[in-house]
Amino acid sequence: MIKLSRWAYLGSMLLLLISQHPVQAEQTEMSSIKLAAENNWAPFADHDGQGLSHTLINEAFAREGINVDSIVVSYARGVVMAQQGAVDGVFNLHKEQANQDKFIFGNEPLFSASAYFYQNNSHPLNVNSKWDIPKNSIVGIIRGYDYGDELKSLTQLKFIEVDNHHQLINLLLLNRIDTAIMYEKVANQYLTTMGVTHVINKSVHNHTGDLYLAFSQSRPHSKLFAEKLDQGIRALKSDGRYQQIMSSLAIEKQQYTTY
């Protein structure tokens, strides 16, 4: 039997520890993820850092042993933070032609959402589709939001951007704009809390799309995080927890401050 000297033994142990260190470091880095969560998209993500998206993302990553640290910011700021690598990812992006090359997306969407043109009932659009909306109509949208690949083709319309849904709805109430694009469940939430469901209603369909947690191309573990999220969402779906979250949170009535 070959006996190692004391120094040879210590040297071999040191090499073993060094060889294990990168693996341990990677495991530590993968134990938590830093995300930007938008602050104006209730019931999916609100200014208190709560909502359907938070629940789905937190529980999906928890299934994979990953803790989520969410920073609540505006949607536009969150997108920039993810692009610059200040966070690992950003909530609730549609995978579109405009952003597919800017982010890393997993295979499992969080959910699907539909957006419509909304009108003040005192000045209805009276059209059959978005393509029929009259030339030079003023359309309100929220700065930085995704509204589908076809939006850029609606060249007959004039778009103005605002920062949040309260501003958008107030512009409709005052007839400062002809119509506004809002996602249906989100619009329902804000119209209800503002008490104006009898004044403003949806008109024609804009688009329906899948929403994702989009990962930064500038962060080292984005592809692995995307795979972990996919696995977590599939696990939630397999045992029925995903369906439970969607059904319970979709109908839950929460109170939001109007301003």
pLDDT number for residue 97: 82
What's the pLDDT band for 9 if we cut at 50, 70, 90? low
Residue 246: is its pLDDT beyond 80? yes
Mean pLDDT of 145-172: 94
Mean pLDDT of 142-168: 93
The separation between the first and the last C-alpha atoms of the chain, rounded to the nearest angstrom, is 80
Residue 259: is its pLDDT beyond 50? no
Residue-wise pLDDT for 97-151, tens only, equals: 888 899 999 999 999 999 999 999 999 999 999 999 999 999 999 998 889 889 9
Tell me what percent of the residues of the chain surpass a pLDDT of 70: 84
Mean pLDDT of 44-59: 95
pLDDT number for residue 25: 45
Query: Could you give the CA distance from residue 131 to residue 157 in angstroms, rounded to a whole number?
Result: 10
Mean pLDDT of 172-199: 96
Q: What are phi and psi of 214, to 5 degrees?
A: -95, 130
Residue-wise pLDDT for 21-44, tens only, equals: 544 445 556 789 999 999 999 999
H or E segment to which residue 25 belongs: helix 6-29
What's the pLDDT band for 258 if we cut at 50, 70, 90? very low
pLDDT number for residue 256: 38
What's the pLDDT band for 192 if we cut at 50, 70, 90? very high
The CA-based dihedral angle spanning residues 100, 102, 103, 109, taken in that order and rounded to the nearest 10 degrees: -30
pLDDT number for residue 12: 59
Q: Which one has a higher pLDDT value, 33 or 8? A: 33
pLDDT number for residue 19: 55
Alpha carbon 61 to its chain's center? 15
Closest listed residue to residue 201, CA positions, set 173, 177, 174: 173
